[in-house]
Every structure is written in C-alpha cells, then in structure tokens.
Amino acid sequence: MSAARTTDPPHQEPDHESHRETRAARVKAKAGYRPEVQGLRALAVLMVVTYHVWLGRVSGGVDIFLLISAFLLTLSFVRKVESGKPLRLVSHWLHLFKRLIPAAVVVILGVLAGTWLVIPQSRWPDVLNEAWASLLYRQNWLLAETAVDYYAQDHAGASPLQHFWSLSIQGQVFILWPLIFAGAGLVWRILQRSRNVSYRLVLMVAFSGIFIASLIFSVDQTATNQAYAYFDTRTRLWEFALGSLLALSLPYVKPGKALRVVLGWAGLAAMISCGLVLTVDRSFPGFIALWPTLAAAAIIVAGQSGSRYGVDRLLSSKPLVALGDNSYALYLWHWPILVFALAGTGIVAPNLVQGLAIVAASVVLAVLTTRFVEKPLREWHWPQLRAWRTAVVIVACGALLAGPVAVWQTRLTADEAAAAAQPRELTPGAAALAPENAGKPTPEATVIPAPAAMKNEWADIDGLCTDGNVPSDPLLSGCLQNSRPDKVRKRIVVLGDSHAQQYMAALGPIAKAHGWEVVTLLKGNCRFGAESPERDADCNAFNKASAAYVMEHKPDAVFTVASLTHKEAPFETEVPGYLDGIRPFTEAGMDVVGIRDNPRFSINMPECVQKHGAEAPECNAPLGESLADTSPLDAYRGRVDGLHLMDMSDFICSSGICPAVVGNVYVYKDDNHLTKTYVQSMIPMFEKRLLATTGWK
C-alpha cells in the first residue's frame, strides 16, 4: 500500500543539487536507508492483496503500514531537529501531498470509469460521494458513519473506493504528527533552559501518552461499537504512536546477532499468521491489533542481522524491495480491480487462476502508475523551487478529479428530476395490479425512482417523539412520530423493523387524512415478537422495551409485520414469538394489525433491472420462491381476539411472479425493502383493506 512510503526519510526532502540523480542512487547515498523495511512494506502489501483476493478477510497488513509510516516519519523529523534544520511544516505538507495525491487521483479516475462500465446506476451516487471523501482524506469517517447506520449500509456489494479509509487516516496523521514534532521542539527548547532534557525524551513522553490514551479508547470502542471503531482515526493513533516510539528507542535497543535472527523470523511468522488465526475485521483495532504491529516491530528491531540466516536477507532481496517501491500504487489498484472483476463476471470469489489474473493486473497498473505518475512528479524540479508551485500541482490534480465528479453528479440530479416530473398516469405502480386494470398494458415511461434517488427511498417519518410520547427507556431514544393532528381520533404505535417502517409510506398519509397519531419504535433487522433465542440480545431487549412502552401508553392500536420472509427456503415463516408478543396488547383492549411481510431476495432487484432489463427472468422471481404457498398469517386466525390480519401481497406479486418493476415503479430499493414510491402507489388499496380488516371508520 501505502502512503507510508512517501514518508521514507531518504525521499522526504527535496534535494535540489542532486535532482538529476536516479532515485536508486539517492536512496543508497542517504544515511539510514533500511532495505529490510522496504521489504517489510512489500510483504505487508502482499498480505493485504492475497487475503483480500483469495480469503476475503482482513490480514492486519494495514496496521503494519500505519506503524511503518510513523516509524519513518519520526526518523526523518528527529534527524531534522537534532541537526538543527528548520521543520518548515507547510513546505513539508505540500511536498508530501504532491507525492500522494497524483497517484490517488489517477486511481480514482480509473474507478469512475470502471463504475460507469460495471457498477449498477443506483450505486453511482455513493461512489461519487466516496470519490470526494477519498480526495479530501475523510473516507474513513464516511465509512464509519455508514457502518453503524443500518439505513445507510450498502447491501449490494463492496465499494471500489472502500480501501481509501486507511489512506485517509494516514493523511490525517501526516498533518497531525508534524504538529506534535513542532510542539515537542518548543517544549524541548523551554526545558533546556533549566535542565538537560533531550528532544527524544520529550517525544517519548508525548507519544507514550498518545499510545496509552488511544489504546484504552480503542479497546473500549472496539468492545462497544466495533463497526465505527474500525474506521475511527482516534482508535488507530496508538498504532502510529507505537511506530514513533519504536523509532525513538531503536538506537538504544541493540540485540545480539542470534537474538536478531530469532526476533526477525518470529516476527515474520506472527505477522503472516495474524489474519489466519484472528477474525481481524471483527476484533480490530483493539488490543488484538498489537499482534501484527508488535510482529512488525520485532522485524524492525531485528534490522540488519549480519547473519546469513536473518530474515533481513529475505526482506532486503531485490524483488521485495522493488515491490516495496510500488507498494503504494499496488494498494491503490488491487481493491478496485478485485471489485470490478467480481461485479463484471458475477462470481462471488475468484479461484486461483482468476485471483492470479487480478493480482497480475494490479501489479502491472501499479508499476505503470509508479513509473509514469509518481516518479516523474517526484523528480519534477519546477515545483520544488517555490511552495506556491507545489500548491499549484496539488490543486491541478484535485481539479482533474473534481471536474468529472461534479459534472457527473449534476447529470444524475437532472436525470432524477426528469424522472420524477413524469405524469403520474405513466407510473401507476401498484395500481397496475388492481382488478380494474387487469390486462391493461403499462404505458412507456422511465422507471421511477431514478437510480440516483434510490438512497432516498426510505419511508418518511416526521421527527422525534415529543411531549408525552417521549420514551423513558434510553433503548427507545429513536422514537419517531408523524405530526400530531389538531384532533387525535386514534393513536397507533408501529413496532418492528425497517419492513414495518416502509409501510409508513402508506400508513402515514392515511393516518393524517383520518386524524390518527402514529408513533414508531423501530430497530433495523429486529422483527417484533416475544423474547426468542432466534433473535440477538439487543433485539430482544429492544422488543421488551417497546412492549413496555405500549403497555404504559396504551394506544388504540399497534401495527406490526406478522410474517418473516427469507432469501432461501423456507421462504416465509411465522415471526418467532409473535402471538405471545402481541397478546398482552389485545388483552389490554388494544387492536393489533399484523401485515404480511414482503418478499426477500438473494440479489439486489433494482440493480438486476439496471443490468438486465425489467423483463429479464432473473428480475422476476417465481411466487413460490418468494412467499409461502400458504400464508403464515392463516395460522394466527382465531387464536387472539383483537388481532387483525392484512395481506397486500397481491399488490406486490401477480400471476405467479414477484417482479422488480410494476407499473413503471421499482418495487424494491435493494434485495428486501419496498421502495417508498411503490408503497405510496398502494395507498388507496392499503387504506381500503386496512379499514375493511379492522372495521375502523
């Protein structure tokens, strides 16, 4: 991977007098060059690539990159300060990002081209947003927000820019770390007036504090909110701090030749085995990440062993050092090539030959990028003469990417507006399945919503609960309600998950028309029912709190989804503990409405249409592979007084098929959620059936 290579001390500062020399000559001429570290970087990127391509797992290699980048950065700055050279932070940052951004821009432009060719249109807006985030080094925060937001998660597949999260963290630290070096320099000069304190000691204290604080925070956040913690810069700072502490202490650590051999090979074995032994993506970046980082530290401490049996002989070999020179570009290219290969061929995981082809293509692109983008810009003399010239190069590279992204986003917005502006009679949606429209052809029109608008297809709920509707239990802090009518004629509480929420696109407008107040207590992937071992502990706790809320507030009715669909057989079952869950409500005199669940698929339905067309067989699933032949709701009938059962499946599936598009409207926003637009097209039929089922007036 990594941007770490750009902080390598031999390449850190521009050398105006020797700019015509080859890079290899400059590297050899510089003191302190450590080829085994370059080989270590190469091995780490190989781990990342092979684990991604063949194992579908995280290797811990990224954590090694973070440590190496801080290690090299610290060596460079300490050498500057101790030799009395000025830090010139602005020039340092400009020079650094001049070397980082061009290759990144080339790869992101390549990703945009691949996205246009391979990725379904509904995912284009996300890729464009991630392009901005990657360019501005905030991709990790974007992914952190998505990781913990059920409604923002990409259910379709991996993003081709997802791997920029680690580069974003590095970019942020590359700004922060020099400030620490500068601040430590000021403290050092102040302390020198009264006592003999070394600059290294001041840095040791600073980075020790960062290491301890960040590691404690990382362990806590990984245990309580791992999905967010994985991408959080703060939970990764200790890995950088460890690299800095290693650089500061290395001159005082002098193991013997035999110990160097043992440290090197033990570190290498631990490093390679990390991703195989640990479920890295589920347990990182807490204390478990000490495994790969300490393994890498052991290899660095082993250094140049002076023994023919030392691991440095392997790491200093020409192939690994050469690969280390291309590691940044290889990390940039390998992930999008993998994502596009899988998306374009439809395979789930590559076999050995396919994987080798992906790796080979990534290496070729990496070498070309290094040779024709990185190296020429690195050796270009003109920007080195003035800081403003370096800034011009950075801005020009950014503009090269910003222009196409902005134009593409503008075009998508225009297409979205044009699709939405079509006359309603051209997009009847569920009304096309009404008995009076049987046999009538649907007119020609653009299918709505436009793919770029698919992210907005969650059903709307007006806002947080207010006044007496505010729950006392913090588990229910996400309580939402529709705006309260002037005269409340009926109070309804909606319980369950995102499938219940989507029906709010019909229930909400109907409630407003009738003067009903609606409160929702929803949790993603948590169907309402009594406590059951088939649900996780968080869901059981949420359902228990929701039931307590209902019993406390005693609404007139409770709305639920009463069956549970599955991607594989059996395609539909009863909800675990459903009757036991709703019985206390009916016994307390409340009505309970239980609606049948909508189908759930193994593919993303709108993306299927975008790839193959609305009439393609794969986008029109057989009814028998979508819902049960006999509705599970039939098993509930007559068992609980006050339970009213609704089935809208005849307005979702028809003639033995559950299509992706009905009446020029996408039925689903992904592989299992109805679109808000389609549910809104069901409002007249939904209202009629709800009133008939419940007897409400």
Q: What is the mean pLDDT of residues 132-146?
A: 94
Nearest to 599 by CA among 561, 564, 647: 564
- Crossing angle of helices 164-192 and 61-82, in 10° steps, is 30
Give me the sign of the Cα torsion angle 219, 224, 226, 230. negative
Distance, in Å, from the CA atom of 515 to the CA atom of 487, rounded to the nearest integer, reads 6
Which neighbouring-strand residues pair with 593? 559, 644
- Range of weakest confidence among 135-144, 342-351, 526-535, 569-578: 342-351
Whole-number mean pLDDT of the chain?
A: 90
Q: What is the pLDDT of residue 156?
A: 52
Q: Is the peptide bond before 449 cis (omega within 30 degrees of 0)?
A: yes
Instruction: Round to the nearest angstrom and report the end-to-end CA distance of the chain.
Output: 65
Token representation of residue 493: 């509480």
C-beta separation of 50 from 276 below 8 A: no
Q: Residues 593, 599, 605, CA angle at the centre, nearest 5°?
A: 135
| Residue 83 three-state SS | coil
- Count of other CB atoms within 10 angstroms of residue 505: 24
pLDDT band at 23 (very low <50, low <70, confident <90, very high): very low
Query: Nearest 10 degrees: CA dihedral of 421, 426, 431, 433?
Result: -140
pLDDT band at 279 (very low <50, low <70, confident <90, very high): low
C-beta separation of 297 from 79 below 8 A: no
Q: What is the pLDDT of residue 118?
A: 93
Q: What is the pLDDT of residue 6?
A: 31
Q: What is the pLDDT of residue 570?
A: 93
Q: What is the pLDDT of residue 148?
A: 63
pTM for this prediction = 0.87
The tens digit of pLDDT for each residue in 419-436 reads: 999 999 999 999 999 988
Q: What is the pLDDT of residue 24?
A: 42
Distance, in Å, from the CA atom of 578 to the CA atom of 563, rounded to the nearest integer, reads 9
pLDDT band at 32 (very low <50, low <70, confident <90, very high): low
pLDDT > 70? residue 30: no
Q: Write down the CATH superfamily of domain 456-601+632-647+678-694.
A: Response regulator (3.40.50.2300)
Q: What is the pLDDT of residue 153?
A: 57
pLDDT band at 612 (very low <50, low <70, confident <90, very high): very high
Q: What is the mean pLDDT of residues 216-236?
A: 93
pLDDT band at 280 (very low <50, low <70, confident <90, very high): low
Beta-strand relationship, 516-522 and 490-496:
parallel
pLDDT > 90? residue 355: yes
Distance, in Å, from the CA atom of 608 to the CA atom of 601, rounded to the nearest integer, reads 11
- Count of other CB atoms within 10 angstroms of residue 67: 31
Q: What is the mean pLDDT of residues 344-351?
A: 88
pLDDT > 50? residue 691: yes
Q: What is the pLDDT of residue 684?
A: 96
Residue 139's alpha-carbon distances to 122, 231, 429, in angstroms, are 20, 9, 37
- Range of weakest confidence among 186-200, 228-242, 363-377: 186-200
Distance, in Å, from the CA atom of 69 to the CA atom of 625, rounded to the nearest integer, reads 52
C-beta separation of 607 from 668 below 8 A: no
Q: In which residue are the tokens 């002076």 written?
A: 306
Beta-strand relationship, 480-481 and 516-522:
antiparallel
In the chain, residues under CATH classification 3.40.50.2300 are 456-601+632-647+678-694
Beta-strand relationship, 657-659 and 620-622:
antiparallel
pLDDT > 70? residue 162: yes
pLDDT > 60? residue 4: no
C-beta separation of 481 from 518 below 8 A: yes
Q: Give, as one character, the DSSP assignment of residue 121.
A: G
Q: What is the pLDDT of residue 674?
A: 97
Q: What is the pLDDT of residue 277?
A: 78
Mean pLDDT is highest, among 20-29, 50-59, 190-199, 203-212, for 203-212
**Residue 544 class from Cβ within 10 Å (0-12 exposed, 13-18 middle, 19+ buried)?**
middle
The tens digit of pLDDT for each residue in 511-528 reads: 999 999 999 999 999 999
- Range of weakest confidence among 14-23, 351-360, 441-450, 658-667: 14-23
Of the chain, the percentage scoring pLDDT greater than 90 comes to 77
- Side chain identity, residue 632: P
Give me the sign of the Cα torsion angle 539, 542, 548, 551. negative
Q: Give the H or E element holding residue 433.
A: none
pLDDT band at 155 (very low <50, low <70, confident <90, very high): very low
Residue 569: alpha-carbon gap to chain centroid:
30
Cβ-Cβ contacts under 8 Å for 463 (sequence gap 6 or more): 480, 481, 483
Q: In which residue are the tokens 């529709």 written?
A: 482
Distance, in Å, from the CA atom of 677 to the CA atom of 687, rounded to the nearest integer, reads 16
pLDDT > 90? residue 21: no
- Count of other CB atoms within 10 angstroms of residue 115: 26
Q: What is the pLDDT of residue 3?
A: 37
Cβ-Cβ contacts under 8 Å for 263 (sequence gap 6 or more): 255, 298, 299, 301, 302
Q: Give, as one character, the DSSP assignment of residue 640.
A: S
The tens digit of pLDDT for each residue in 285-336 reads: 888 889 999 999 999 999 888 888 889 899 999 999 999 999 999 999 999 9
Q: What is the pLDDT of residue 189?
A: 86
Helices (H) and strands (E) in the chain, counts: 25, 13
Distance, in Å, from the CA atom of 322 to the CA atom of 453, rounded to the nearest integer, reads 46
pLDDT > 90? residue 581: yes
